[in-house]
A and B are shown apart, each in its own frame.
Chain A
Amino acid sequence: MDLFLGRFVTIDAGSALQVVVLGFIGGILSGFIGSGGAFFMTPGMMNLGVPGVVAVGSNIAHKFGKAMMGSRRHKELGNVDRRLAAFLILTSFVGIRLAVWVNSLMFEGGGGEHGEGGSSALSNLYISLVFIGILAFVGASMLKDALTTRGEGADQAPSPRMARLLARVHAPPYVNFPVADVRVSLWVLLIVGLATGYMAGTIGVGGFIGVPAMIYVFGVPTSVAAGTELYLAMYMGAFGAINYAFQGFVDLRMTLLLYLGSLVGVYVGVYGTKVVREVVIRLVTGTVILLCVFSRAIALPAYLRELGLVNLDPGWDPVCNLASKAFLFLAGIAGCALILVHVFRAYRQRRRIEATLVGTASG
C-alpha cells in the first residue's frame, strides 16, 4: 500500500466509515470495561494499512481528549486520588518517552523514512507481539475469572493477595494515599508507573497494566482505580500525543474520525454496565480481547515475510490482512451486539414493568 510521506494512508469515504465504526466499537468496549478500547482501535487501524507506530500515536492522542472528558465525571464522584496519580504520572512519562523512542527506532529501522510499502514491518511486528502478549494474558485472566465466578463455590472476588504480600515486604519509604486509603512503597509505585507508561506509549493500552496494578498490587478500591487511571490517562495521553506528534506520527484525521464514534460509544458502554451482570461483562470482554489477539496473530505472517524472516508468497498478504480484519470486526461487532441486546432488553423490561406499576396504581 502506498503511504503518503511514508506513513499516512489515503482516506476515502469507505475507510473513514471503518475508522468511525472502530471508534464506536472501541468506545462501547471502553465504557463497558472502564478502561481500554485502544486494544481494539489500534489493531483495527493497522488492518486498514496504517503503520503501527502511527496507529499508536493517533490513538494515544485520541486517548488524551477522551480521558479528559471521562475523568471530569469521576472527579465529581470523588473517585480520583490525585496524589496517587501524581506519583504514577512522573514515572509513566519516563515509560512513555522510552516507548516512543523504541517505536520510532523500530519504524526507522524498518526503513519507514524511505516510504516504500511495508517498510514499517519491524515496528508493526513489535507492536503486534506486545499486543498479543499483554492482551492474551489480560483476556485469559478475565475469562478465567468470569468462568470461576459462574461455577459453584467460587464466591471469592479477585483478591489482592499480591497487595497483602507486598504489604509485608519492608521497602521504605512508603507513601499514604488518603482517597484510595492505602499505603504503598515508593519503589512499587515507580515500577508500576513505568510499566503503565511504557505500555501506553507502545500500544496505547496503559489501563490494562495500571488498573489491575492499582487494585491487586496497591489494594485500591475498584472505583478509585478506574477514576485515577482515567485521570492518569489524560496526562499520559497528553504527553504521548506531544511526543508522537513531535516525531511526526500523529495522523490528526484518524484521531478526529475515532472521536466521531468513540465519544458516543463510550456512553452506550457505560449504560451497558448498569444493565448487564458483572460476570457477563467479564465474559464478553475476555472473549472479545482473545479474539483480538487471534486477529493480530493472523496478521503476523505478513510482517514476518516483509522482514524476510519467513518464506511466504506475497499473494498471501492481503488474505492475512483480510482475515485479521474480519476477525477483529467480527469480535467487536459480536461483543457490541451482545451489549446492545442486553441494553435494549433491559430498556423494554423496564418500560413494561413501569407500565404495570402505573396501571396498578391507577387501577
Chain B
Amino acid sequence: MQIICISRGTLRGGKELAEGLAHRLGVPCLGREDLIEAAFRDGIQVGKLETAMVKGGRLSERLAIEKEHYLAFSTAFLCDRAREGSLVYHGRTGHLLLPGVEHLLRIRVVADPEFRLRAVMRDLGIPREKARRYIEDVDEDRRRWVHAMYGVSWEDAAQYDLIVNLHAFNIENAAAALTGVAQLPDFQMSPASLKALDDLHLAARARVLLARDDRTRAASFKVTGSSGVLTVTYLPHSAAVAPAIPKVLEALEGVREVRATMAATNILWIEEAFDPASESFRHVVEVASKWGAAVELLRLCPAGADADEVAAASAPAATPPRGAAGGIEEDVEEPVVVDGGLSATADALASVGRSGGARTVCASSDRLIEAIDRTVPYSLVVVGDVYLSKGHAARVRLVRELMGFLGERLKVPTVGIEDLKSRYLFGRADLVRMVGFLALVVLVFAVVFTNQEAVLRFFAAEETWARVLAAAAAFVIIPVVAYLYGTVASLWLKWIRME
C-alpha cells in the first residue's frame, strides 16, 4: 500500500499529473476539492476559515476551534481513504496532515512562470500585468494558508521527496517517471507506518466527534492516539467539559481507553528508553505539574532499528473477553510489552493527570521533525537518553546536535534531561543565588533611600559633565537592579511553584 501526496499550485499542471499517475498505478485519485466538499457537508465553515487564515493575524477562539475541526476532519478523511488502499492525493500540502507516517511519497509540482502567466492570460482573458499580480496574490494566499495551518513554509524544498518542474517534460512523461519512483521500496507502507496511520486516524476521528457533539463543540482539544489509547488534553478554562469527554468518545470504534488531561501547555519528552521509576520521570512530572502541562512522550528509536518490530511491540495485547466464563480460571500471564517503557511511563503520567500521549518514531533526527505536530503549542522539549547504542562521546555530541536542531526548527526552549532540574526546579543553588541577590538589592535600596538628597542632587545636576555622569549611572544602575531583583522575583515564584 502507498500514499502519494502531490502539492500543487495554480495552473502548474499538478492535478493533471496526479490523475495521470493514479491512472498508471491503477489507484484512486483524490483532490482537495473532494476534501473541501466533504468538509463543507460536515458543517465546517471552510470559506470563513480560509479567509481568516489568508488574512493573517490572530484567529478568534471560535475559528481556532474550527481550524482544529478542519484539520482533524481532513486527516480522518485521508486516513479513511488510505486504509481502503493506495491513493494519490493532490492538494496543497496533504502530507502535512499525516505527521509521523513514514514512506509517503511527497511530490511538489512547479511550473515555469512564463507558462503560468500565459495560462492565466488565456484562461481568464486578462492582460499580462494583471495576470502576474493574480498569480502573485494566489501564491501569497496559499503560502499564508500553509503557514497559518501547519506553521511551516510551503516553499521549503526539504519537505518534499521530489520536485517536478513541468517545464522540462510533459505531464505524461512526468507521470511515467513518477510511476517508477512510486514503486520503489522506500515508498511502500510498512507495518510501522500503518500503525502510525491507524493512530492518527483514531485521534482524528475522536477530535471530529468532539467537534460534532454539543457538549464539547465549543472547547479546544488536542487528541493523540496510540494503540487504542486516546489522550485528550483541554485548556483549564474548558474544565467544565471534562466529564463529557469519555461519554462522547465511548462509542468510538477502536478505543480501549480515554485519558483526559487538563493542560495549559505541552511538554515534549524524547527518550529511547523510558522508566517511570527514574529520577528523570519525577523531574519532568514536577515541571509539568508546576506549569499545568501535559507531557507527550516520544520514543526515538535509531533510524536503523527494525521499525516493524517496534510497531509489533507497541501494538495492543488482544483484549480478553469481558465477564467470567465460570468455573476455575487459570491465571493468564500478561504479555510483556517491549516498548522501551513507553506504555508504563504513559500509564504513570496518566495516573498523575499529566498524560499528553505517547508514540514511537524510528527516524534520524532530521526526519524526526516531520513526526512532530507543529501546530501543538509546546513550551518545552526535553531530550533524554537517546542513541544508546553509541559510545559516550558520540552520544553526547549527537544529543547536543539533536537539541540544537529541534530548538531551531520548533522555536521552543529545548533542554537535556540532566539540565531540567537546574533550569526549572528550585534547588539549593537557586536558594543561595536568591539570598545573595536579595542581599545586594537590599543594599542598593538602603544606599539610595538613606541618601535620598544626595542621590537626587546627583541626578538633577546642572553641569554637562555631571549630567553625562547621571545618564551613565542610570544606564548602569537600573538594568543591574532589574536583573538582580528580577532574578530574585523569578526564583521566588519558582520556589512557590508559580511560573
For chain A, the count of residues having a C-beta within 8 Å of the partner chain is 69
Interface residues of B in 246-271 (CB under 8 A from A): 260-262, 264-265
B461 partner, pick from A64, A222, A248, A259, beta carbons under 8 A: A248
Q: Which of B57, B62, B453, B483 is close to A222, meaning CB atoms less than 8 Å apart?
A: B57
Q: Given A157-B58, A238-B475, verify A251-B468 contact (CB < 8 Å).
A: no
Contact mask A243-287 → B, CB, 8 Å, 1/0?
Answer: 101111011110110011001100110010011111100000000
Q: A350–B468 Cα gap in the complex (Å)?
A: 53
Shortest Cβ distance from B411 into A: residue: A78
Cβ of A158 < 8 Å from any Cβ of B?
yes
Cα A156 to Cα B54 in complex, Å, equals 12
Q: Are A5 and B479 in contact (CB under 8 A)?
A: no
Residues 309-349 of A, flagged 1 when their CB comes within 8 A of B and 0 if not, give: 00000000000000000000000000000000000001001
Task: List which A191-244 residues lie within 8 A (CB) of chain B.
Answer: 215-216, 219, 221-222, 238, 241-243
| Chain B residues closer than 8 Å to A250, beta-carbon distance | 459, 470, 474
- CB–CB A77/B470 < 8 A: no
Are B353 and A155 in contact, with the CB atoms below 8 A? no
Contact: A155 with B62, CB < 8 Å? Answer: yes
Whether the pair A275, B58 counts as a contact (CB closer than 8 A) is no
Q: Is the CB of B452 within 8 A of A253?
A: yes
Most chain A beta-carbon neighbours within 10 Å: one of B452, B460, B493:
B460
List residues of A (127-169) whose CB comes within 8 Å of B's CBs.
149, 154-161, 163-164
What 0/1 readout, one digit per residue, does chain A (79-120) give for beta carbons within 8 Å of chain B?
Answer: 100000000000000000000000000000000000000000
Q: Which residues of B contact A149 (CB under 8 A)?
A: 60-61
Interface residue from B56, B460, B492 paired with A221 (Cβ < 8 Å):
B56
Q: Which residues from chain B contact A361 at a C-beta distance below 8 Å?
A: 350-352
B138 to chain A, nearest CB (A): 14
Residues of B within 8 A of A256 (CB): 444-445, 448, 481
Q: In this assembly, does B183 line the interface, its C-beta being within 8 Å of a C-beta of chain A?
A: no
Q: For B483, what are the chain A residues with a Cβ–Cβ distance below 8 Å?
A: 65, 68-69
Closest to A4 in B: B456
Give Cα A278–Cα B62 distance, bound, in whole angstroms.
11
Best-surrounded residue of A68, A238, A357 (most CB of chain B within 10 A):
A357
In this assembly, does B482 line the interface, its C-beta being within 8 Å of a C-beta of chain A? yes
- Interchain CB contact under 8 A, B479 and A64: yes
Contact A242 B475 (CB under 8 A): yes
- Whether B459 pairs with A242 at a CB distance below 8 angstroms is no
Interface string of B277-298 (1 = CB under 8 A from A): 0000000000001001000000
> CB distance A181 to B353 under 8 Å?
no
Q: Which residues of A contact B453 (CB under 8 A)?
A: 4
Residues of B within 8 A of A346 (CB): 236-237, 239
User: In the complex the two chains form, is A5's CB within 8 Å of B457's CB?
Assistant: yes
A171 at the B interface (CB under 8 A): no
Contact of A66 with B474 in the complex, beta carbons under 8 Å = no
Give the CA-CA distance A252 to B470 in the complex, in Å: 10
Residue B433, interface by CB 8 Å: no
Nearest Cβ in chain B — how far from A339, in angstroms? 13
Query: Which one of A8, A76, A219 contacts B413 once the chains associate, using CB atoms below 8 Å?
Result: A76
With an 8 A cutoff between CB atoms, is B412 at the interface?
yes
Q: How far is the CA of A161 from the CA of B51 in the complex (A)?
A: 12
Determine which of A65, A215, A278, A362 lies in contact with B351 in the assembled complex, contact meaning CB atoms within 8 Å.
A362
Question: Chain B contacts of A222 at CB under 8 A?
Answer: 57-58
- Complex: how many Å from CA A221 to CA B237? 24
Contact across chains for B490 and A267 when beta carbons are under 8 A apart: yes
Indicate if B471 sits at the interface (CB-CB under 8 A). yes
Chain B residues close to A by CB (< 8 Å): 45, 48, 51-52, 55-63, 147, 236-237, 239, 242, 260-262, 264-265, 289, 292, 350-353, 411-413, 444-445, 448-449, 452-453, 455-457, 459-462, 467-468, 470-475, 477-479, 481-483, 485-486, 489-490, 492-493, 498-499
A-B contacts besides A221-B57, A245-B473, 7 pairs, CB < 8 Å: A61-B474, A155-B60, A155-B63, A161-B55, A267-B489, A275-B236, A354-B352
